[in-house]
Amino acid sequence: MEDEGNHGNDDTRCFILSTLAAHNSPRVVCLLCSSTLPVYDRYPLVDGTFFLSPRQHSKHCFEAKYEGKTQYLSVVCMDCLEGTAPNRRIKCRFCATPWDGSSLVLGTMYSYDIFAAQACCTERYKCNNCQKSLASSFQKMPFYSDYSHDIMCSQCTVQDFHFVKSLAFCFARDIP
Ligand SMILES: [Zn+2]
Ligand SMILES: [Zn+2]
Ligand SMILES: [Zn+2]
């Protein structure tokens, strides 16, 4: 699959800084551990990574328009991405695969949902409405960002961001 992130790009930097300014927030909050992170006006912008999701994963994700669509600017801190602290790890509730964000570029922004882009098992590909598998549609998708788009379920015809599921639904803390 292709990673079409615009890492280190000036438009991305301006988008993040103007979104934070519009919400009067010089800081952001990690989705997974709720720690507060400062945002810098130069790269690396944050000690973690920003990403956009069509779903608001927490109240700390900021609504913004990106390429004409409503998205939520979200953040995961470096410790949670790398899973270095043992109590920071999360795993899939269905297949127990640990989520691993260590390959993501730090300090920049992904324009898609980083959790949806790394689905581990068939539970993650089920329709949010009828719960039937959307496997035949996902096999054709060439880009990570394709998993963040709304698609129509071929079984029940409901259109939704079927692969962008709530974190509480997909993940549990991996407590050793
Ligand atoms: Zn964190
Ligand atoms: Zn899984
Ligand atoms: Zn369906």
Report cis status (omega within 30 of 0) of the bond before 54. no
**What separation in Å is there between the alpha carbon of 5 and the centre of ligand 2?**
24
**What separation in Å is there between the alpha carbon of 175 and the centre of ligand 1?**
15
- Does the pLDDT value for residue 155 go beyond 70? yes
What is the pairing mode between strands 62-66 and 90-92?
unpaired
Q: Give pLDDT, residue 119.
A: 85
Residue 101 has, within 13 A of its CA and on its CB side, a CA count of 27
Ligand closest to Cα of 170 equals 2
Mean pLDDT of 141-149: 86
- C-alpha–C-alpha distance, residues 112 and 123, integer Å: 20
β-pair partners for 74: 51
> Are 109 and 132 in contact, with CB atoms under 8 Å apart?
no
Kindly report, residue by residue over 31-59, the tens digit of the pLDDT: 999 999 999 999 999 999 999 999 999 99
- Does the pLDDT value for residue 97 go beyond 90? yes
Burial of 5 (0-12, 13-18, 19+ CB in 10 A): buried
Ion ligand 2 nearby residues (CB, 5 A): 92, 94-95, 97, 120-121
Kindly report, residue by residue over 74-86, the tens digit of the pLDDT: 999 999 999 887 7
- Does the pLDDT value for residue 153 go beyond 70? yes
**What separation in Å is there between the alpha carbon of 171 and the centre of ligand 2?**
9
**What separation in Å is there between the alpha carbon of 31 and the centre of ligand 3?**
28
Q: What is the signed CA dihedral for 125, 108, 16, 150, rounded to 10 degrees?
A: -10
